[in-house]
Amino acid sequence: MINRREIKTSLLISIWFMLLTFPVMVIKINPIEKIVQWRWMNLLLVGIGSFLFSLLWRYFMQKKETGTMAAAAGSKPAALLLRRIREEPRLRNMLITVNALLALAFPFLFSTYQVNIMTTVLLYIMLGLGLNIVVGLAGLLDLGYVAFYAVGAYSYALLNHHFGISFWVALPFGALIGAVFGILLGFPVLRLRGDYLAIVTLGFGEIIRLILENWNEFSFGPSGIANIPRPSFFGLDFSLHESSTFIYFIMILLVLFTIFVVNRLQDSRIGRAWIALREDEIACQAMGIDKVKTKLTAFALGATWAGMAGVIFAAKTTFINPASFTFLESAMILSIVVLGGMGSIPGVIFGAIILILLPEYLRAFSEYRMLLFGAIMVLMMVFRPQGIISDVRKTYRIKHRESP
């Protein structure tokens, strides 16, 4: 229970917060009428809200320290639900069928705007799953992931502009070029870990963006590249809605393909090497795992999906410029992985749905979206650092056979 001392501390915090926000929340100057408006009700609401939030925060922190929330988190209801779905074929098949029907019917039930939003969600799911290879499985903090995204987008735009390359030819090209750039990034950072790795990858992302912004002869600079053709199907001409629907179905197929490949990689020999590298790099090397090969493979495969996603982004928007590939995009993709659960495929999907759909449908609260985003991330890091759907560790049971 919260005692008198906790209430006193929360009261002092609310007073401090009222003083801190006084110039912004209370004072409003009207330059036209040359008067100052005093909004005292805002100050009262800030005080009451900060006081109640502080009390709730302290209550949940006490629960966490006493082990009540830890015991609840230890049960891992999301993990248990996933395990049950895996073990019961009937339930799994029913969920797959329902989701497949909803996905197929979605573009025919909703407007083009809604279809474009869902396409963006699928695009970020693909990007999140690609970054999940590098961060979630291999444990390599990459803050310049947007560079591979930009490389894929510009590869399609430039190949189409200079050589007339179509979308379907540029898609594997974008994946290949992304993998090459992933290897080029991987070589200089083989000896780096932790914060040093994050700084170098962040610098790599900024270098790519600045090259695209300043090399006018190559990338057309800040003006960008326009009139990028959308994907066609055997030469058929699509309207805007039909083209959006077609890209939506392409994204569904690519997301399913990404899930299949990442899941197979996670259970493969190289996937187990990534997880060993993430847990303990020294022990991993001592066990005979080639650290150089493992890191380069993680960077290359993660960049492959970013390159393909960049090609689709260029085809979807029909216009790209360096402003579309800032550090904020890397931070958003990384937030999807961290919020959903590092190493967890369902977690990444759920994280992308939350972080991409909610801002679109909460445009009425556009002034407070970043505030809510920051608050959600802080709460997640404090109370559930493993993510919404954490990765389920595989356990192996060895049954002893009785000798006859």
pLDDT for 305 = 92
What would the pLDDT profile of 191-215 be if each residue is shown by its tens digit? 887 788 889 888 988 999 999 999 8
For the segment 310-344, what is each residue's pLDDT rounded down to a tens digit?
999 999 998 999 988 888 888 888 888 888 888 88
Residue 112: both structure tokens together: 């083009």
pLDDT score at 128: 92
Does position 307 have pLDDT exceeding 90, yes or no? yes
Length of the chain as a residue count:
404
- Residue 78 in this model has a pLDDT that exceeds 60: no
pLDDT digits (tens, 9 = 90+) for 234-276: 777 777 778 888 999 999 999 999 999 988 888 888 888 888 8
The pLDDT value given to residue 69: 45
The residues near 173 (Cβ < 8 Å, ≥ 6 apart) are 155, 156, 159, 165, 311
Q: What is the pLDDT of residues 105-114, one digit of tens each?
A: 888 888 888 8
Q: What is the pLDDT of residue 395?
A: 60
- Give percent above pLDDT 70 in the chain: 86
Res 56 pLDDT > 90: no
Distance (Å, whole) CA 135 – CA 246: 31
Tell me how crowded residue 13 is: count the other CB atoms within 10 A of its CB: 18
Residues with Cβ within 8 Å of 228's Cβ and at least 6 positions away in sequence, in order, are 156, 157, 160, 314, 315, 317, 318, 319, 320
Mean pLDDT of the chain: 82
More confident residue, 364 or 334: 334
DSSP symbol at 29: E
φ/ψ of 142, rounded to 5, equals: -110, 110
Task: Please state which of the ranges 229-233, 320-324, 385-389 shows the lowest mean pLDDT.
Answer: 385-389
Integer Cα distance of 229 and 243 in angstroms: 11
User: What band does 125 get if pLDDT is binned at 50, 70 and 90?
Assistant: very high
The per-residue pLDDT for 51 is 82
> Which one, of 346, 332, 116, 389, lies nearest residue 242 by Cα?
116
